[in-house]
Amino acid sequence: MEKQPKAPMEERGSSVIMRFATTTGILAVSVVVLAILFFHTIRGDIFQGAFQAPLKEWSATIAGHIGYDISKAQAVAKTHRIGVIVWSEDGGTYAFGPNGEPIESAELLKHTSRYRKIEVHIQHATGHGGDDMNRHYTFMLDREEFDDDRTPLLLGLIFLLLFTIGLAYVMQVSLLKPLKWLRSGVDAVSEGDFTTKVPVVRNDEIGKVARAFNQMTSRVQQMMDDRERLLADVSHELRSPLARMKVALELLPEGDKRDAIAQDIREMESLTNALLEREQMRTRIQAGIQTEGDRAKIETINLIALVGDVIDTFHNAPPGIDLIVPPQSLEIEGDRALVKILIQNLVDNAVKFSLADSDPVEVILSQTDKGIQIVVTDDGPGIPDDQVEKVFEPFVKLNPARGHRVGYGLGLNLCQRIVQAQGGSIEIQRREARGTKVIVTL
């Protein structure tokens, strides 16, 4: 069985920062829970255990002071605001509440959640030569009076821990922020923008990667510019020889050889014109519409009328063209010459790649929430899904066996540049049966 490739990281999980945030949140919850557990454990087992022995000694001293004098038991209860129960060997039981009032012992004992109970067993001498008498003392200490409220301390501890974790998280995110810039730069480069530069704010490993990325994009952009300049220069230099060849051609006698040479010269002239138009378009996109001459070319364009004029030039071309327009007028601001080239290329592609049995080409104009749309649909061989992005690259021609035999591979590249100059978008979709749909939004 063929091993399937792993899915990209973006499809298999969240970003590194999201994972880091999740881990930090789990760490914060764990630290808070452990802090509460350890706080109560230490306070209950260690602190209270440390107080237990002194309380026993204090209780034994108070019990010895009370002795047989029950009035002293009542005074101790009132003075120290504690419950006192005295059990005598002879069966007598005396109990006093925190205010010194006589009370049933059972009444005191049932409030175990409110009181801390300390029991002391003492054997008293009667002093008359008789047997010693055992007495059992129970002191009920009010927890609210006895225990200090440590809740603010616990809350302060939790706040300090969370603040420390939050500060560490902010610092870690700031350290990872250059990765987001680098990711954005990679996305821009993948879309063909080699002018992208990412900020270099540190000299660590991430900073070195960012610096290397900027150097790479600069070199690639330089290579692309050199290639474009070479093509433009060659195309420009070819114009003069072509003009001389056309003049010389007029001196040849008519015949098949002259027609073949004339056809070759027309193809070469068409290619050089396409290359020069593409270079002019590239220069304008890079420089932006800044000069007075460029701004003078911007005008209000009646798109329906312009598309109608372009379609009229294809009135005899099979399989025909159907134009569908809305009832209202559609107007855009732009360079009329460039928009006309855009529409001509789209319609020419649709007609050129239609088959003998293809339905007519459809050109649909509409107003949408995103802007004005131009949709050109053909019934040709279509474009494979894995080739959709490649057709926008210059000189890309698809498989001739599928009907892609004509053209120079510059039409859609030029269309993309014109749409970018207009601030719009262009998208290619494959139809279910066959054919291609091109959607331009201006």
Task: Kindly report which listed range (56-65, 142-151, 297-306) carries the lowest average pLDDT score.
Answer: 142-151
Is a pLDDT exceeding 60 seen at residue 10?
no
pLDDT band at 311 (very low <50, low <70, confident <90, very high): very high
In b/e form, how buried is each residue of 370-387, taking b as 16+ CB within 10 angstroms?
Answer: eebbbbbbbbbbbbeeeb
In whole angstroms, give the CA distance from residue 251 to residue 255.
12
Between the alpha carbon of residue 128 and those of residues 44, 123, 124, 397, the distances in Å are 45, 15, 12, 126
pLDDT band at 306 (very low <50, low <70, confident <90, very high): very high
- Give the model's pLDDT for residue 337: 79
Q: What are the residue boundaries of the structural domains of the chain, listed by start?
A: 9-40+151-190, 67-146, 205-287, 297-441
CATH number of 205-287: 1.10.287.130
- Give the model's pLDDT for residue 367: 92
Is a pLDDT exceeding 50 seen at residue 410?
yes
Q: How large is the average pLDDT for residues 101-107? A: 83
Residue of 308 and 226 predicted with greater confidence:
308
pLDDT tens-digit readout, 150-200: 667 767 778 888 888 888 888 878 877 888 888 888 888 887 777 888 888
Strand 372-377's sheet: what is its strand order? 321-324, 361-367, 372-377, 436-441, 425-430
In whole angstroms, give the CA distance from residue 261 to residue 259.
5
pLDDT band at 409 (very low <50, low <70, confident <90, very high): low
R_g of the chain computed on alpha carbons: 46
- Give the model's pLDDT for residue 272: 75
Task: Kindly report which listed range (17-21, 29-33, 337-341) carries the lowest average pLDDT score.
Answer: 17-21
- Give the model's pLDDT for residue 174: 80
- Give the model's pLDDT for residue 426: 92
pLDDT band at 221 (very low <50, low <70, confident <90, very high): confident
Structure tokens at 250: 């007029």
% residues pLDDT > 90 (the chain): 12
pLDDT band at 5 (very low <50, low <70, confident <90, very high): very low
Could you give phi then psi for residue 358, rounded to 5 degrees? -75, 150
pLDDT band at 9 (very low <50, low <70, confident <90, very high): very low
Cβ neighbours of residue 81 closer than 8 Å, sequence gap 6 or more: 98, 99, 142, 145
- Give the model's pLDDT for residue 399: 54
CATH number of 297-441: 3.30.565.10
Residue 243's identity, in one-letter code, is A
